[in-house]
């Protein structure tokens, strides 16, 4: 975890992860990696709850589009895909976390930064500064499947969801609270919002819920969202593309084996070569089984 990007502190039973500095907290690969490391570290420490906050006027201003556009073509598309994949993994990590999570939206939360706030169990938002803003429609960026599903599940009112996603409306804390998107609009400064979020988290931690059951309920409550992110979570070693490639290799190997068997029946193929292909196909079957590790 890079201390320059985020810091972790413990307040009672609550782990607080803070995006440090006065910048926009753009979700670059480096920041996403630091966040995932911080969440993993918090999980290992078994806190009662988790709070995510940001310093300065931004909670997070979304993906680091300047970094995405900095590379030569077709780098922008590849780099944006890289950030989306890492963010998908972060959402999976939060959904699978065996403790309650609270976002302390201390400033503007735009694009993927808005989605990051909504990925928590509860949201406390600063009343005097900051907007929830799904900026994709204004920025000309596609909302990918898991973000669309996240917004659909966490913004229950269809009209509010339309205004947020299709109109790019910038919602204040009071508006978001009134429309059921955030849990509390908090007066005061950054520290007041963080303190309110910690108090919410402490209240949830005091319930002493079974952590694994909590994570299972969260996944079952939003099954479509979980299905779109689960293969990118921190406890999964194999990735969908790797599994797909393995399955394709197995299919090709089986096809080759069947064809070679026909040749062997006609005495066109040495027995040792047929045995080699059979052994290879069996090894590929064994290798396709997902292996789970704890990071």
pLDDT tens figures, 118-139? 999 999 999 999 999 999 999 9
**Number of alpha carbons in the 13 Å side-chain half-sphere of residue 119:** 27
Helix residue ranges, H only, 16-135: 29-45, 65-70, 75-96, 112-118
Statement to judge: residues 198 and 106 lie in one domain: yes
What pLDDT band is residue 284 in, cutting at 50, 70 and 90? Answer: low
Concatenate the DSSP letters of all residues of 268-288 into one string.
-S-HHHHHHHHHHHHHHHHHT
pLDDT value of residue 1: 47
> Of the given ranges (5-9, 82-86, 164-168, 273-277), which has the lowest mean pLDDT?
273-277
Statement to judge: residues 26 and 121 lie in one domain: yes
Statement to judge: residues 141 and 265 lie in one domain: no
**Number of alpha carbons in the 13 Å side-chain half-sphere of residue 49:** 27
Percent of the chain having pLDDT more than 90? 73
What pLDDT band is residue 234 in, cutting at 50, 70 and 90? Answer: confident
Q: Is the pLDDT of residue 279 over 90?
A: no
- Domain with 70 in it: what CATH number? 3.90.226.10
Contacts of 48 (CB under 8 A, 6+ apart): 12, 13, 14, 99, 100, 201, 202, 204, 205, 206
| Number of domain units in the chain | 2
What is the C-alpha R_g of the chain?
Answer: 23
Q: Is the pLDDT of residue 237 over 50?
A: no
Statement to judge: residues 68 and 178 lie in one domain: yes
pLDDT value of residue 295: 35
What are the structure tokens assigned to 22, written together?
A: 């006065």
Q: Is the pLDDT of residue 290 over 50?
A: no
> Please, is 146 exposed, middle or buried when counting C-beta atoms within 10 Å of its C-beta (0-12, 13-18, 19+)?
buried
Average pLDDT over residues 217-239: 85
For residue 100, is it within any domain? yes
pTM over 0.95: no
For residue 10, is it within any domain? yes
- Examine the fold and report which residue of 191, 213, 232 is the final residue of a domain before the chain moves on: 232
CA distance 71 to 78: 9
Statement to judge: residues 155 and 40 lie in one domain: yes
For residue 292, is it within any domain? no
Helices (H) and strands (E) in the chain, counts: 13, 9
For residue 225, is it within any domain? yes
Range of the domain at 131: 6-232
Average pLDDT over residues 238-261: 50
Statement to judge: residues 142 and 125 lie in one domain: yes
Statement to judge: residues 60 and 144 lie in one domain: yes
For residue 294, is it within any domain? no
What pLDDT band is residue 291 in, cutting at 50, 70 and 90? Answer: very low
What pLDDT band is residue 257 in, cutting at 50, 70 and 90? Answer: low
- Examine the fold and report which residue of 215, 232, 249 is the final residue of a domain before the chain moves on: 232
pLDDT value of residue 5: 93
Statement to judge: residues 66 and 153 lie in one domain: yes
For residue 124, is it within any domain? yes
Query: By the 8 A CB rule, do 225 and 149 touch?
Result: yes
Statement to judge: residues 138 and 256 lie in one domain: no
Statement to judge: residues 40 and 183 lie in one domain: yes
Instruction: Report pLDDT digits (tens) over 153-184.
Output: 999 899 999 999 999 999 999 999 999 999 99
For residue 51, is it within any domain? yes
What are the structure tokens assigned to 167, written together?
A: 């109109």
Instruction: Report pLDDT digits (tens) over 190-224.
Output: 999 999 999 999 999 999 999 999 999 999 999 99
Statement to judge: residues 63 and 196 lie in one domain: yes
- Examine the fold and report which residue of 197, 212, 232 is the final residue of a domain before the chain moves on: 232
Report CA torsion sign: 245, 246, 248, 249: positive
pLDDT value of residue 116: 98
For residue 55, is it within any domain? yes
Q: Is the pLDDT of residue 282 over 60?
A: yes
What pLDDT band is residue 72 in, cutting at 50, 70 and 90? Answer: confident
Statement to judge: residues 81 and 142 lie in one domain: yes
């Amino acid at each position: 975890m890079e201390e320059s990007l985020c810091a972790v502190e413990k307040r009672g039973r609550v782990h607080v992860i803070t995006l440090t500095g006065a910048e926009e907290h753009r979700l670059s690969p480096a920041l996403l990696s630091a966040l995932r490391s911080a969440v993993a570290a918090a999980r290992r420490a078994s806190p009662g709850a988790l709070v995510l906050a940001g310093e300065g006027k931004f909670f997070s201003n979304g993906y680091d589009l300047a970094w995405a556009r900095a590379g030569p073509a077709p780098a922008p598309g590849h780099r944006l895909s890289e950030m989306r994949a890492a963010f998908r993994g972060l959402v999976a990590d939060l959904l699978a976390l065996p403790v309650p999570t609270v976002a302390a939206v201390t400033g503007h939360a735009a694009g993927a930064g808005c989605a990051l706030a909504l990925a928590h169990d509860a949201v406390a938002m600063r009343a005097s500064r900051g907007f929830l803003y799904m900026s994709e429609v204004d920025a000309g960026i596609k909302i990918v499947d898991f973000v669309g599903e996240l917004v659909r599940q966490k913004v229950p009112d269809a009209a509010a969801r339309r205004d947020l996603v299709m109109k790019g409306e910038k919602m204040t804390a009071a508006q978001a609270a009134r429309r059921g998107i955030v849990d509390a609009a908090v007066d005061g400064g950054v520290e007041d919002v963080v303190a309110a979020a910690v108090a919410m988290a402490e209240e949830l931690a005091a319930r002493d819920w079974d952590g694994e059951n909590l994570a299972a309920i969260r996944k079952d409550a939003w099954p479509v969202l979980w299905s779109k992110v689960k293969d990118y979570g921190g406890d999964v070693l194999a990735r969908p593309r790797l599994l797909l490639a393995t399955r394709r290799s197995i299919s090709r190997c089986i096809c080759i084996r069947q064809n070679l068997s026909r040749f062997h029946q006609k005495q066109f193929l040495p027995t040792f070569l047929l045995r080699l292909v059979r052994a290879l196909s069996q090894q590929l079957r064994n290798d396709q089984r997902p292996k789970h590790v704890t990071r």
